[in-house]
Structure 1
Amino acid sequence: MNLTARELRVSVRGLTPGMFVSRLDRPWIETDFPMEGVRLEAPDSVRKLQAICAFVYVDTALGKAPEPRYLTLEPEREAPAAVVRIARDRDELADARKNTWAIEREFKDELKDAAQAYNNLEKRFQEVMDDLRRVQYLDLERLKHGVSAMVASILRNPFAFVWLKEIKRRDSYAYQHALGCALWAASFGRHLGLDKSDLHELALGGLLCDVGKTRIPMDLLARQTSLSADEVQLIRRHVEHSLELVERTPGLSKKLVEMVATHHERHDGSGYPNGLSGSEIPLFGRIMGIVDSYDAMVCVRPYVPSNSPHKAVTDLYEHRGTLFQAELVEQFIQTCGIYPTGSLVELSSGEVGVVSAVHSLKRLRPTVMVLLDRNKTPLRQFRTLDLAVVDKDDRGQPLSVKCGLPSGAFGIKPRELFLD
């Protein structure tokens, strides 16, 4: 198939229902449209695109072709290698999809079991890491039950575990980062439709990717000033140490070992330790590279200000196609949302709340539990707004998310509000 001939750049004046729009003249992340593309089913969707874009790309293999007079660029001028690569990446993810996981339990009903699973896994992981520092032995059996309980909860409803991770943030970066990687890796795998066994591998790999840091001096890991070139190389050796630990631990799969070995490799070859690029990096390694980077940006560290989840998502999107595989970045953003569950946001009304649910087709309009009024005064009773339904505030003004906020903004401590 001639991929360059099937994807045509067309003026939005030439859009009609029945076409499939595969790319925009702006990032998908700035719109409410799904990043995998959109089929124009009605005139309303056509008008929405015409209001925000000057031109788009139409995939003629998936929908109607545009009239020639509306083409703004001859297909032959497109970069065929880029189009072929995008198609290949999409095909790889389609081949990996084995399931379509559905929500089995309501968010509020899943919270209790999710909290029990979270607390158990956190406790067991801390014990395993403490033992590892003392005797350099990785007790895998103590983690397996906790990982299984977490994956089971994520399969029933992934938003509950994500919510708990956000509101139970602590200053222990190493523990919280490992749990965050395990959570996001399993949630991402669920979104991609991977098998349950693969979700276990991803979750366990998320916990173990950085175990080699137990061999790095603690004062170096906690250093608040810039590092020398030698010190950077010393820290980068944690991949080698992690790999040594997992390779000598019975019962770990080849996929997990590859994930540990390659989670710091980058799509453009700029990563370490081996400078791998593109498909040279196994799928699980590419997944973990995105997950590890995202969670590191949003984690609370005593010497580095955390980013808002929205800022972290935006940074990942800006590095799609360079540091990270573009298709995987777009799929990850669909997993966590532009404003992820549990993150703080400020509304256009001035009110502040925490995101309690995201919508796959309306990513900029999540469900928000409002905590502070427009004067930033705590409400006596929280109220929930589903922005996919409510589009006006109490003054009749358009209502939307103004911006994402970092953890702890305006003195909000979700752990105290929701768990204690």
Structure 2
Amino acid sequence: MDIKSREVRITVHGLTLGMYVSRLDRPWIETAFLMQGLKISSEDEVAMLQRICNHVWVDVMLGASPDPRYLAFEDPAEVRQRRAAAEVEALRKTQWTPQVEVQQELRQAEAVHASLEASIDEVMTDLHSGKRLDLERLKDGVDAMIDSILRNPTAFVWLKEMKRRDNYAYQHAMGCAIWAASFGRHLGLERAELQLLALGGLLCDVGKTRLPEALLNKRTPLGPDEIELVHQHVQHGLEIVDSTPGLSPKIREIVATHHERHDGSGYPWRLQGSDIPIFGRIMGIVDSYDAMTCVRPYASSRSPHQAVTELYQQRGTLFQAELVEQFIQNCGIYPTGSLVELSNGQVAVVTDVHSLKRLRPRVMLLLDANKAPLKQFRVLDLGEVEQDDAGQPLSVKGGLPTGAYGIDPVELFLH
């Protein structure tokens, strides 16, 4: 029998000794219980659950069945959807607008990017050697990054895409921090919240520093036992952050819940819907998007456009639909760094995304209609230019996979 079909939702007033509580109406990590899942053995445990919860789920195969008088039925789907949408809207406390053009910000962002890169490398090296997490060193780099993203969010995203490295752990930590801050800015979070999200992005996979490198670098599919070991990085991460003085509980939430999924299929707590803290839901999307676009030892990378398409297909199942839609509004249908083919056959890379014209980004033309390299790259803003040189309507025909036509943006723009 499937575990979900064995679970019954009841009000806490119906709890009795001998019941097995499998889920709460809040994350287990917010409670004093050490493990998810509890066989009630004392009145003190009943009292604690009644104090912190309104309803719980009990597994009737692992413990006593409830009195039918205390059954608590789920709210209708439309009620849950309205509540979830309101929760996302409540995040908006301010409206950020670009202060400078992306070309101007790139000059400052490059120095900040290099400094944060060095900080991440040093902190990861320390953790691999058993040293403690140097939170202050990361905070300095994150603060400077947030300043840059608030001035213009595109510059850091562009640098991240152009400065790909072979080290997945570094690349993914940097990517999660950048996308978390950029997404939080789009959602209207205040600066202090952006710092928490960015630090959470840097640290969400910090527990992997305690896993064998051979496991993390394996290029063939993992077996069930190996997958279980990888899943343990969440618990390792919690041990690291819990031993770090001055770290916000919000960051702990992110580390603990960024692999939870909207439909309850995630790990390690099997939380679902609004039981997942909102920052954990945000980081789940960010973590998945960046992982898909990174070069991983065990999987080829997807183009940013392919990753956005996959997230859209997973809205309402793996991820909260309202948050997915907001994330796509933030990064665009064709995110910065995407290779695209235009309606006239030319090939370009997206360099900026318009907030109101998501399908008409600013691009840099790389190849002509015959797919031959242009002698000189040319910047074209499709938000302003609607026709090509021949007077024909000009638009993005579609996204291209990473490396299409042998194009390597790093080689093109950094050497």
Check whether TM > 0.5. Answer: yes
Say whether residues 1:362 and 2:357 are aligned partners.
yes
On the 8 A contact 1:164/1:342 being kept in 2, the answer is no
Larger Rg computed on CA atoms: 2
Aligned counterparts of 1:275 and 1:286: Cα–Cα separation in 2:
13
Which residue, 259, 262, 287 being the options, matches 1:264?
259
1:359-417 deviations in Å (ceiling 9; x for gaps) = 22221111111011112222122112222222222333332212222333222222233
Say whether residues 1:166 and 2:170 are aligned partners.
no
Say whether residues 1:378 and 2:370 are aligned partners.
no
Aligned counterparts of 2:210 and 2:347: Cα–Cα separation in 1:
42
Which amino acid is 2:407 matched to? I
Aligned counterparts of 1:196 and 1:282: Cα–Cα separation in 2:
19
Question: 1:105-184 alignment to 2 at 5 Å?
Answer: 105-184=100-179
1:268-287 deviations in Å (ceiling 9; x for gaps) = 10000010001110011000
Count residues with an aligned counterpart.
341
SS of the equivalent of 1:135 reads coil
TM-score scaled by length of structure 2: 0.80
Which amino acid is 1:343 matched to? S
Aligned counterparts of 2:223 and 2:407: Cα–Cα separation in 1:
37
Aligned counterparts of 1:310 and 1:354: Cα–Cα separation in 2:
12
TM-score scaled by length of structure 1: 0.79
Q: Percent identity?
A: 67
Say whether residues 1:249 and 2:244 are aligned partners.
yes
Q: Which runs of 5+ in 2 are unaligned?
A: 1-74
Where does residue 340 of structure 1 map in the other structure?
Answer: 335
The CA deviation at 1:136 is: 3.8
On the 8 A contact 1:168/1:414 being kept in 2, the answer is no
Where does residue 310 of structure 1 map in the other structure?
Answer: 305
Which residue, 392, 400, 411 being the options, matches 2:395?
400
The CA deviation at 1:172 is: 1.2
Where does residue 185 of structure 2 map in the other structure?
Answer: 190
| Distance change (3 Å), C-alpha of 1:124 and 1:386 | same
Which amino acid is 2:212 matched to? P
Runs ≥4 residues deviating over 6 A: none
Which residue, 288, 299, 319 being the options, matches 1:324?
319
Aligned counterparts of 2:257 and 2:158: Cα–Cα separation in 1:
28
Where does residue 8 of structure 2 map in the other structure?
Answer: none
* Structure 1 range deviating more: 403-412 or 313-322: 403-412
Please give the root-mean-square deviation of Cα atoms over the aligned residues, in Å: 1.4
| Distance change (3 Å), C-alpha of 1:397 and 1:303 | farther
Where does residue 206 of structure 1 map in the other structure?
Answer: 201
On the 8 A contact 1:171/1:302 being kept in 2, the answer is no
The CA deviation at 1:303 is: 4.2
Aligned counterparts of 1:187 and 1:254: Cα–Cα separation in 2:
21
Aligned counterparts of 1:301 and 1:97: Cα–Cα separation in 2:
34
On the 8 A contact 2:264/2:273 being kept in 1, the answer is yes
